[in-house]
Homo-oligomer: A and B are copies of this chain.
Amino acid sequence: MTKARFDELIHPSTRLSLVATLAAADWAEFAFLKERLDLSDSALSKQLTTLEEAGYVTTERRLSGNRRKLRARLTDTGRNAFNGHIEALKAIVDGATAPAAEPPT
């Protein structure tokens, strides 16, 4: 099981959806992500760059048919970070259902 670790880089809603989408796919194309997440070219490009710089995503340019396409996918690091973030979110939510307890020092 992945260790819970809240990830501020992943948390913002756009990136959370983006990473979740990538987590569901093997590779995902730029156009697919753009439509699915309803983002502009620049917004998506910037988020992918951010994630790539963090080492969470890798991209690859290739020819699909006779069109150049960019594909992206999560790295293992990215997948671990995403899983860890989900665990952290669960912990927060569980903290909401369980009675309030002392946080560990």
Which residues in A have some Cβ–Cβ distance to B below 8 Å?
6, 8, 11, 13, 16-17, 19-21, 23-25, 28, 36, 82, 86, 89, 92-93, 95-100, 103
Contact = CB atoms under 8 A, between A and B. Distances in A.
Contact of A24 (B16, B28, B36, B95): B95
A24 B98 contact: yes
B6 A103 contact: no
The number of times this chain is found in the oligomer is 2
23 contacts: A6-B13, A11-B11, A11-B13, A16-B92, A17-B92, A19-B96, A20-B92, A20-B95, A21-B95, A21-B96, A21-B100, A23-B96, A23-B97, A24-B95, A24-B96, A24-B97, A24-B98, A25-B100, A28-B100, A36-B100, A36-B103, A86-B93, A89-B89
